[in-house]
A and B are shown apart, each in its own frame.
Chain A
């Protein structure tokens, strides 16, 4: 009888909690809802009627989106394309080359390997501001200031975390599999690409997710490295419009912000499982 009462009160507690969390959830999505509403409002009403649904008087229809596309004399689709290209190239480059290096470091016990490994771990605690000036000058000199070459800079500055995660995983793979491959006459290159590389898949996904989230949202590195008159990424374009002096069309800016977060949210909903796993894996390094 008493136990039944306890169970009942516990069930009621859980129901109340559910409701409370649901309310917090609604509050949590409100900022995004506000962006959606304001992307359809005329500039002057964004500040005065921020939290109102656009009506006949305040609505700008699709005008903000059309205007935003060519805002600041730079087509938005170009910025989106460069963002996508830089993210895909950098992530691909990082996964391929750091997994190769990590396998070698984990399997060959030389002083050079140890040095590289510890330098990589060290690089993880160095904030970008420490190298931002010298890195952007070096990248300029080496002509790494285009969307096609900036992935090399990302490979260099982002290698630390990726190597650290791959080395940790390779060490957990039993050596016997690779030994069997070498007995069967596979050289190191063949062994890596046909035997080891496929086994690295789970870590590859985690590293890939972390790099995508970093590169896609990164503002300062591409801003300092790229020639921004010709090449802009989405964060650069948005900062350029909002941060530059003069009158800013808030409605059009919100339209661009909405356009830039829609793909992110779709990507998140599609790959949620991997994203959450990747984040948890990356956090352990601290």
Chain B
């Protein structure tokens, strides 16, 4: 019965689906398939790509700069995950306690989120260099400055974002549960640990995964603040490792760097990067599904 009713609708399918499908093929499906194929080829221009097997992947994993970028990114993602979430949760918790001016605080903390990554990078590079120039150094001179500088930048940008999600979660904690805890004589700390946190677990999961993928995918801020990955270290074999270069930037630099013969390797790195990021996404999906079933 229902099927029959839908038939006139299906006659218009081309109109409803057509534009999105066409754009989706141009903007995603075709580049994705071509990208997988090119990761198995040697090429400088797409039209003279020659099939090359998995040698691009072998070269990618042998590339010291790529491995360095992987560990550097992983470390960055984990440190930023912990700091962002602890601070964002703390701020969100205090902002839901009925403090005067909560709305203004929320507005201010979220504001940096609207500023783009490139602009953020240059704002903070000016600030850090304003401090470091008095010590006759610069954020581009030492890896540790680059690392912690980027962490501070990300905290400034992301705390407000995660705070919004935590506030929504905290406001959904049932009042009667908090009331019951109070009547039972639970201290604030006990209530937080035994009632509030278990109830906002879904928000915590979302924020943890969000900050993890944000950390892994970071590009604009890394490019702008760290001057494309400075400082450099010359390897024994003559190759160069940029010590503050993260994965996305490493892929970009391999694609558009001086060695035009490395495009196949760059595409192979991109596929590895995709599997890594998608893997985190799928883990999140599986994890939330499992939680939903339990509830």
A and B found bound together: yes
Whether A130 and B109, one on each chain, are in contact in the complex, defined by CB atoms closer than 8 angstroms, is no
Residues of B within 8 A of A160 (CB): 28
Quick one: closest A residue to B47, CB to CB? A137
Which residues of chain A from 140 to 165 have any CB-CB distance to chain B below 8 Å in the complex? 142, 144, 152-160, 163
The complex places the Cα of A113 from the Cα of B10 at a distance, in Å, of 11
A103 to chain B, nearest CB (A): 7
Whether B206 and A257, one on each chain, are in contact in the complex, defined by CB atoms closer than 8 angstroms, is no
A220 in contact with B282 given A142-B26, A257-B123 (CB within 8 Å): no
Residues of B within 8 A of A15 (CB): 100
A264 at the binding interface (Cβ < 8 Å): yes
Best-surrounded residue of A98, A134, A220 (most CB of chain B within 10 A)? A134
Quick one: closest B residue to A272, CB to CB? B107
Quick one: closest A residue to B11, CB to CB? A188
Residues of B within 8 A of A203 (CB): none
Whether B114 and A213, one on each chain, are in contact in the complex, defined by CB atoms closer than 8 angstroms, is yes
The complex places the Cα of A58 from the Cα of B112 at a distance, in Å, of 28
A286 to chain B, nearest CB (A): 5
List 5 A-B pairs, minimum CB-CB distance, nearest first: A156-B27, A50-B130, A217-B116, A125-B281, A156-B23
B150 to chain A, nearest CB (A): 14
Whether B27 and A18, one on each chain, are in contact in the complex, defined by CB atoms closer than 8 angstroms, is no
A286 in contact with B119 given A28-B156, A97-B19, A131-B28 (CB within 8 Å): no
B239 at the binding interface (Cβ < 8 Å): no
A239 in contact with B118 given A129-B248, A130-B273, A131-B32 (CB within 8 Å): yes
B288 to chain A, nearest CB (A): 8
Residues of B within 8 A of A133 (CB): 35, 38, 255, 263, 266-267, 270
Can you list, as one digit per residue, whether each of B110-150 has a CB less than 8 Å from chain A (1) or not (0)?
A: 11111111110011101101110100000000000000000
A254 at the binding interface (Cβ < 8 Å): yes
Can you list, as one digit per residue, whether each of B1-37 has a CB less than 8 Å from chain A (1) or not (0)?
A: 0000110111111011101110111111111101100
Whether B122 and A242, one on each chain, are in contact in the complex, defined by CB atoms closer than 8 angstroms, is yes
Whether B118 and A119, one on each chain, are in contact in the complex, defined by CB atoms closer than 8 angstroms, is no
Q: Which of B19, B111, B118 contacts A265 (CB 8 A)?
A: B111
B59 at the binding interface (Cβ < 8 Å): no
Whether B115 and A254, one on each chain, are in contact in the complex, defined by CB atoms closer than 8 angstroms, is no
The complex places the Cα of A103 from the Cα of B213 at a distance, in Å, of 30
Whether B28 and A157, one on each chain, are in contact in the complex, defined by CB atoms closer than 8 angstroms, is yes
Whether A242 and B20, one on each chain, are in contact in the complex, defined by CB atoms closer than 8 angstroms, is no
Residues of B within 8 A of A129 (CB): 219, 247-248, 251-252, 270, 273-274
Can you list, as one digit per residue, whether each of A12-38 has a CB less than 8 Å from chain B (1) or not (0)?
A: 001101100110010011011011001
A81 at the binding interface (Cβ < 8 Å): no
Residues of A within 8 A of B229 (CB): none
A14 in contact with B24 given A126-B274, A188-B9, A238-B119 (CB within 8 Å): no
B51 at the binding interface (Cβ < 8 Å): no
A119 in contact with B122 given A51-B130, A104-B17 (CB within 8 Å): no
B-to-A contact residues, CB < 8 Å: 5-6, 8-13, 15-17, 19-21, 23-32, 34-35, 38, 46, 91, 94-95, 97-101, 104-119, 122-124, 126-127, 129-131, 133, 156, 161, 164-165, 168, 206, 209-210, 216-217, 219-220, 223-224, 227-228, 247-248, 251-252, 255, 263, 266-267, 270-271, 273-274, 277-278, 281-282, 284-285, 288
Residues of A within 8 A of B12 (CB): 187-189
B94 to chain A, nearest CB (A): 6
A264 in contact with B130 given A108-B13, A187-B8 (CB within 8 Å): no
Residues of B within 8 A of A279 (CB): 110, 113, 161, 164
Residues of B within 8 A of A47 (CB): 129-130, 133
Whether A155 and B20, one on each chain, are in contact in the complex, defined by CB atoms closer than 8 angstroms, is yes
Whether A98 and B263, one on each chain, are in contact in the complex, defined by CB atoms closer than 8 angstroms, is no
Whether A108 and B15, one on each chain, are in contact in the complex, defined by CB atoms closer than 8 angstroms, is no
B104 to chain A, nearest CB (A): 7
Which residues of chain A from 34 to 69 have any CB-CB distance to chain B below 8 Å in the complex? 34-35, 38, 46-48, 50-51
A88 at the binding interface (Cβ < 8 Å): no
Residues of A within 8 A of B23 (CB): 97, 152-153, 155-156, 159
Can you list, as one digit per residue, whether each of A215-259 has a CB less than 8 Å from chain B (1) or not (0)?
A: 011111000000000000011001100110000001001100100
Whether B277 and A125, one on each chain, are in contact in the complex, defined by CB atoms closer than 8 angstroms, is yes
Whether B220 and A220, one on each chain, are in contact in the complex, defined by CB atoms closer than 8 angstroms, is yes
Which residues of chain A from 114 to 142 have any CB-CB distance to chain B below 8 Å in the complex? 116, 119-120, 123-135, 137-139, 142
Residues of A within 8 A of B263 (CB): 133
A25 to chain B, nearest CB (A): 5
Whether A156 and B123, one on each chain, are in contact in the complex, defined by CB atoms closer than 8 angstroms, is no
Residues of A within 8 A of B38 (CB): 133-134
